[in-house]
Amino acid sequence: MTLPAAERFNLDHEYRTPRFKIDATVTDKIRGKVKIIGVSDARIPWPMGRKGFHRGYMVVGALVRAGRPTA
């Protein structure tokens, strides 16, 4: 059974976009050291990072806690 989107994408914890500087290097929970290249323009702003030629959403700090499944 598939959950409705409102429940499926509900964050467990309050999430605020972390403070960061463009071009800073931080540790992504999945990809390791990545360079910050900006922030998405989505409903919930996600930090964007680049490692080599690969770009994507970053998984750091509060985002790790917010994305954990609820028990």
DSSP 13-60: S---PPP--TT-EEEETTTEEEEEEEE--SSS--EEEEETTEEEE---
Whole-angstrom Cα distance, residue 71 to residue 22?
35
pLDDT at 59: 76
- The predicted model scores a pTM of 0.60
pLDDT at 23: 92
- Supply the range of the domain harboring residue 43: 5-67
Domains identified in the chain, total number = 1
pLDDT at 27: 86
For the beta carbon of residue 18, count every other beta carbon within 10 angstroms: 14
Taking only the tens of pLDDT, the chain with its 71 residues reads: 676 766 666 666 666 677 788 998 988 888 889 999 998 887 777 888 999 888 888 877 666 666 666 55
